[in-house]
Structure 1
Amino acid sequence: MGVIDRLTASSWQRSGVAVLTGALPVLAFPAPSLWWFAYVALVPWILLARSAPTGWRAAWDGWCGGFGYLVAVHHWLLPSLHVFIFLIAALLGALWAPWGWLVRRFLGGAPAPGRGIAALLVLPSAWLVVELVRSWQGLGGPWGMLGASQWQVGPALRLASVGGVWLLSFLVVAVNVAVAELASVPGSRRPAVAALVATATAASAAWAWAPRPRVDARVRIAVVQPGIVDGRDSGERRFELEEQLTRRLAGQGVDLVVWGESSVGFDLGDRPDLSRRIASLSRAVGADVLVNVDARRSDQPGIYKSSVLIGPNGPTGDRYDKMRLVPFGEYIPARSLLGWATSVGRAAGEDRRRGTAQVVMNVGHGLRIGPLVCFETAFPDMSRHLAQDGADVLLGQSSTSSFQNSWAPEQHASLGALRAAETGRPMVHATLTGVSAVYGPDGQRVGPWLGTSASTAHVYDVPLAHGTTPYVRYGDWPVHGALLVLGVLCVAEFVRAIRRRRSGPEPLVPPSRTAHGSPVRPGH
């Protein structure tokens, strides 16, 4: 009896093992950041689904593994969502059920000609479609995409400029599938090695072909991170601290000052005194200040989170209202049914309002910036559209102050590397309480991370580049390719089913034979 058989002697044990194997990839993400582990982290899960006695059991293994994966990469939400995190993971984990079924379909049983090679296309494609579906904002967004684990690997960032985080996810899953074949399918070992070589060759060719960002200018951008401010009147005291930190930037030749998400807790229409104070800071520093207002609007109903640019004469008129809100954190889906979530966790007591369009702002000195608010930095399409619209710098304003003692701040900060590499534009990730970070147009880190214990203002010399990456030009082509692969598979399975039906069922009992081995004909 093999190791998997011993661990899965009962159905419940097998389900528990599936949950644990699905959770393993979390170790490749920050804070552990074992990026290399991503290339083998799926192998136990694949081997488990491959060994399933039936297709239904393999689908269940996929579902349980998906549950474990989602709980692991979102575990820091547990204090806010409580039981809801398990409910959401159970619902979205079902997306991996077809993937588990396909693992058994292509890797289970006796080896068949060409099936191992097909697995190296079909299984990564199916994984990509799962990531596509769960990336929809209403289902929680693209946090924890497998390719995002490669944020600190230079060659991987180059590949992200070709096909985005989607291409990285495809390659990581393909390597896992090949390793699983090497470990468990003797007849497929030679094709698996050939596929690994082919994958490495194709990735190397894409790496060599991808245009490198050419730095043609630099700007000085200051990030103001006040740190944790608790207690009564925290909004006023945070503003005063941000004011003090910003004044220290005078004389440092900065081109832009960026405050974090919810850095201003009052509507500037109701508090013109705050606008005047920020304008005074802009004059003292000699640069515009990008703040983030989290408040009920005076000119429109509802609460908005808005990036607002303020110059030496006050608000410039440039404003971006956050478009993609955090489920439960900033609104409750189907509040009439799920509104009770506010009684068991820190869910939104009132739904915030959404913006309608992305905005590129003119800062001065010819610099154009594209703001994103918190959760939005996880969406590759949003930064891509800003690059297409002419943004020179991507700016993410975030908070994560509710999750200071978790892996969330590091995971969030790491996403900036991917957005920069995908677009060929530098990315500034400015937070209230850390981690703040800046990345160059190649995705490499610029200057220090500002950790969760820091309360400071730091100036970064940010390199600018003005090319067009293949990802910006061609978009999510790995996803389109994955959909094509699965479409071809569905057509092939349909044709195969039709042929089986036309050929009629196989005889259940073979014809009896004589002692000489000749078949006995009817009537003899």
Structure 2
Amino acid sequence: MWRSRLLAVAIGACLALAFPAADAWWWAWAGLVPLLVLLARAGSWRQATWLSWCACAGFFTTLHHWVLPFLGVFAPLAVLVIGWVWVPFGLAAHALLRRVTLARVLTALLVLPSVWVVTEALRSWKHLGGAWGLLGAAQWRAPAVLQLAALGGVWLLSFVLVAVNTGLAVAVLPGIGRRARLAGGGAAVALAVLAAGYGALRPEPAVTGVMRVAGVQPGIVPGPERRIAEHLRLTRELAGREPDVIVWGQSSVGLDPARRPDVDRRLRAAAAEAGSDLLVNVDAADPSGRIAKSAYQYTAGGVVNTYVKRRLAPFGEYIPLRPLLGWVAGATEAAERDRVTGDGPAVFEVAGRRVGPLISYESTFPDLRRELARLEVDVTITQGSLTTFHGSWAHAQQASFEALRAVESGRPAVLVELDGTSAAFDARGRRLAWVPHDHRGAFVVEVPLSRETTPYVRLGDWVPALAAGVVAAAGLSCAVRRLRHKNQD
């Protein structure tokens, strides 16, 4: 029993290698197969529960190991809780695969991906940490397959991956009929071919122009005065490179320009000297004492637009139910003061183009990018900072989101980190720039602009909605069968 549980932990840990920074993206197509075989052969519901819990704990502990040191004494509790995420999937897999028939194979190919997607959608709630570690996100390095995100977002990618894993698991399960085995293997191959074929045949978008985006990435610079000075120094190095916009990362300005006229003057002068707009990020208390993380669009004449971050990282930027959980700040590195949130999206007019600003953690949410696409932006620009998780897998993981979000929204995407991995992708998720976390300096990337309204932008989260319907129907069917058997007895 313990051997199978340890094996489940290893299976989950290995699946995490499909994500950055390991980037074995191809393993997402088969990494669940060993777990599905274990679940099919589990001797009881209790064993299936333990196996799925162990695999989930192994997966998230490996994928997000960089978070654990900052949780302090709460790290074991976090692992205990997160392990339950895969339990519904594990129980469904045990129910459908322990006695395999052709009908059960077809049901499993629909129900198991649906359970997985519903679980991913629920755990992606903004107060639970956002959409980190979604299986479909592992495909950011496979542009052909990634195009499925334009149809149904990351959810469709996850659905197809789990369906392929299910089909392959059926194909290798011992003691099942030939027809069921062929149906599972055939479905897996067909889905993989269709996914790659759609991406290969998808037409290129019409390019409407090019925007030169400059990023300033100074790394960790202690103290707000020194941080501003270093950003200004690197900004001056961009002289003569003619960027349309210069972007600083999250929390690049730790002093409120409204309360520090000298800082305001220096930012205006930097925009005037560069001959382009300057996007900075202010993280400082205003005259009322409130703190918001805000994007400021500076020109030589001053601030012309602002955007206030709407999705805050739980515990990192605010503590949920602070009156009850505020004591957590004393035992961990949770936020000592809650940041305030913005009211809605913003569109910045920059060099005749429409720019959709986002800030760090917001890059994990597909709905925010869809919202900006509906506002007809030409490009999205995210200001980020991962100083807390310096040198960890978090850098590449956050940068990879931009490829996925670009395809979902049909808009090119740029991420500029204060400390982290800065990146840029075109509307097809092809990499335009990848600036590693240890780079110190400024960079310029030419971003081809294009606008297209993808099916995902038009229809929204139809995949999780459809998956929820499938799960509800499967649950109702199971309940009806149980009731009939009970009445017959």
| Counterpart for residue 476 of structure 1 | 461
Provide the rounded CA distance (Å) in 1 between the counterparts of 2:26 and 2:73: 32
Does 2:15 align with 1:30? no
* Equivalent position to 1:312, from 292, 300, 303: 300
What's the counterpart of residue 215 of structure 2?
Answer: 223
The 3 A distance-change label for structure 1 pair 198 and 425 is: same
Q: Which amino acid aligns with 1:450?
A: V
Q: Is the 8 A contact 1:221 1:258 kept in 2?
A: yes
1:84 maps to 74
Partner of 1:349: 336
Contact kept? 1:123, 1:174, Cα under 8 Å: yes
Q: Distance in 1 between matches of 2:200 and 2:423?
A: 28
Task: Work out which of the residue numbers 70, 79, 85 in structure 2 matches 1:95.
Answer: 85
Q: Please tell me whether residue 414 in structure 1 is matched to residue 394 in structure 2.
A: no
State the shift of 1:301 in Å: 4.2
The equivalent residue for 1:153 is 142
Q: Partner residue of 2:355?
A: 369
- For residues 82-119 of structure 1, the C-alpha deviation after alignment (integer angstroms, 9 at most, x for no partner) is 2334323322332321111111111113x223101211
* TM-score (norm. length: structure 1): 0.89
Match of 1:178 among 156, 164, 167: 167
Mapped to 2, the partners of 1:50 and 1:288 lie a distance apart of 59
Match of 1:271 among 250, 260, 264: 260
Contact 2:30 2:168 in 1 (8 A): yes
Q: Which residue of the other structure, out of 282, 306, 315, is the alignment partner of 2:271?
A: 282
Aligned positions of 1:184-203 closer than 5 A: 184-185=173-174, 186-187=176-177, 188-203=180-195
Q: CA RMSD in A?
A: 1.7
Residues in 1 aligned to 2:374 and 2:170: alpha-carbon distance in whole angstroms? 41
Aligned with 2:470 (options 464, 485, 491): 485
Q: 1:130 and 2:119 equivalent? A: yes
Which residue, 346, 352, 360 being the options, matches 1:359? Answer: 346
Structure 1, gaps ≥5 residues long: 1-7, 506-524
Amino acid at match of 2:379: V
1:412-439 deviation digits (Å, cap 9, x = unpaired): 1111111111111111100012211111
Taking a change above 3 Å as real, the CA distance of residues 336 and 44 of structure 1, as seen in their structure-2 partners, is farther
2: CA distance between counterparts of 1:256 and 1:181? 53
Could you give the per-residue CA deviations for residues 396-422 of structure 1, whole angstroms, max 9, x where no partner exists?
111111222211111111111111111
Query: What is the DSSP-based 3-state SS (H/G/I as helix, E as strand, rest coil) of the residue aligned with 2:148?
Result: helix
- Looking at structure 2, the residues matched to 41 and 203 of structure 1 have their Cα atoms a distance apart, in angstroms, of 18
Which amino acid is 1:480 matched to?
Answer: A
Alignment of 1:56-75 (within 5 A): 56-75=46-65
Q: CA deviation at 1:308?
A: 1.0
Partner of 1:516: none
What is the aligned partner in structure 2 of residue 321 from structure 1? Answer: 308
1:393 matched to 2:373: no
In 2, distance between residues paired with 1:225 and 1:113?
56
Query: CA shift at 1:137, angstroms?
Result: 1.0
Residues 99-152 of structure 1 show CA distances to partners (whole Å, capped at 9, x for unaligned) of 11111111113x223101211111111010110010001111111111111111
Q: Show structure 2 runs of 5+ residues with no match.
A: none
Tell me the residue number matched to 1:43: 33
How many percent of aligned residue pairs carry the same amino acid? 43
| Structure 1 match to 2:225 | 236
Query: How far did 1:204 drift?
Result: 4.6
3-state DSSP of counterpart to 1:114? helix
How far does the alpha carbon of each residue in 1:197-248 deviate from its partner, in whole angstroms, 9 at most, with x for none?
Answer: 3313542554366453221210111001112224xxx211111111011112
Measure the CA separation in 2 of the matches of 1:39 and 1:208: 18
Return 275-284 or 180-189, whichever deviates more: 180-189
Distance in 2 of aligned mates of 1:136 and 1:105: 28
Q: Which residue of 2 aligns with 1:113?
A: 102
Amino acid at match of 1:465: S
How many Å apart are 1:499 and its aligned residue? 2.7
Q: CA deviation at 1:171?
A: 1.2
TM-score (norm 2): 0.95
The residue type paired with residue 63 of structure 1 is: W
Give the Cα–Cα distance (whole angstroms) in 2 for the partners of residues 275 and 243 of structure 1: 12
Q: Which residue of 2 aligns with 1:514?
A: none
Paired position in structure 1 for 2:199 = 207
The alpha-carbon distance between structure 1 residues 208 and 436, as it changes in their structure 2 partners (threshold 3 A), is closer
Q: For 2:447, which of 444, 458, 462 is the aligned residue?
A: 462
1:164 to 130, 153, 156: 153
- Cα distance change on mapping 1:208 and 1:474 into 2, 3 Å: farther
Residue 262 of structure 1: aligned partner: 251
Of residues 282, 291, 296 in structure 2, which corresponds to 1:303?
A: 291
How many Å apart are 1:64 and its aligned residue?
2.8
Whole-angstrom distance in 1 between the partners of 2:186 and 2:31: 21
Aligned match of 2:365? 379
Q: Distance in 1 between matches of 2:220 and 2:158?
A: 35
What is the distance in 2 between the residues matched to 1:31 and 1:200?
A: 24
2:410 corresponds in structure 1 to 424
For residue 453 of structure 1, give the secondary structure of its aligned residue in structure 2: coil
Instruction: Output the CA distance in 2 between the equivalents of 1:247 and 1:49.
Output: 59
Letter in 1 for 2:485: R
8 Å CA contact retained: 1:59, 1:99: no
Partner of 2:283: 294
CA contact (8 A) 1:117 1:195 kept: no
Is the Cα–Cα contact under 8 Å of residues 267 and 298 in structure 2 kept in the other structure? yes
